[in-house]
Chain A
Amino acid sequence: GNSVTQMEGPVTLSEEAFLTINCTYTATGYPSLFWYVQYPGEGLQLLLKATKADDKGSNKGFEATYRKETTSFHLEKGSVQVSDSAVYFCALTGTGGFKTIFGAGTRLFVKA
């Protein structure tokens, strides 16, 4: 079945550091891939998405590229801010259904 694996946290960075959160997936066909962010006490919200191979999703300085050859969708940001502290979830929605599979989440702490 479909699955998503993302790096365990927590990840602790200083402000303006470079961020990478790794995400790999297993799926048949051509899934859509997503990164969601959850701020404390809130629900998840979409950060970015990519629906086909080689697509790059981007939002708020975050980027991720859909790599079918490596089945990866790593999240990157060049310079993190304290306000980026949150939990980040990688997710996929596979062909043939509406269900979305979420990774376990990676907690990011950014220190001033």
Chain B
Amino acid sequence: NAGVTQTPKFQVLKTGQSMTLQCAQDMNHNSMYWYRQDPGMGLRLIYYSASEGTTDKGEVPNGYNVSRLNKREFSLRLESAAPSQTSVYFCASSERTSGTYNEQFFGPGTRLTVL
């Protein structure tokens, strides 16, 4: 099992360009998440999808859109990149079983620089 995969690993954009970050998981999890990690600020939730067909805003959704393409895939789109979106982006997935909130499984991250 590959777990959670993310592409690309690194990306440099110019201000105003658009791009889509791809994420896929092979663990049959219902829930998927996008976070950004900035120095000294921990992880901040951008968007999440509790189950296939649903998406909801997290703590910092402005400037981003998401698509839950199917149960496996959850993409994050930057329509018009800004320098403030320079960050490391992590995708994660999780499942809930018997009322217990299970841990999240993280991808390796995408390091994005916006010039």
Which A residues contact B (CB, under 8 angstroms)? 31-32, 34, 36, 42-46, 49, 51, 89, 93, 98-100, 102-105
Contact = CB atoms under 8 A, between A and B. Distances in A.
Interface residues of B, number: 24
Q: A-side binding surface: helix, strand, loop or mixed?
A: strand
Given A45-B106, A89-B43, A104-B40, A98 B90 contact: no
A93 B41 contact: no
A31 B102 CA distance: 11
Contacts of B106: 43-45
A105 B109 contact: no
B39 to A, nearest CB: 10
B56 to A, nearest CB: 9
A34 B100 CA distance: 13
A42 B108 contact: yes
B103 A34 contact: yes
Contacts of B61: none
A103 B58 contact: no
A37 to B, nearest CB: 11
A51 B100 contact: yes
Contacts of A93: 101
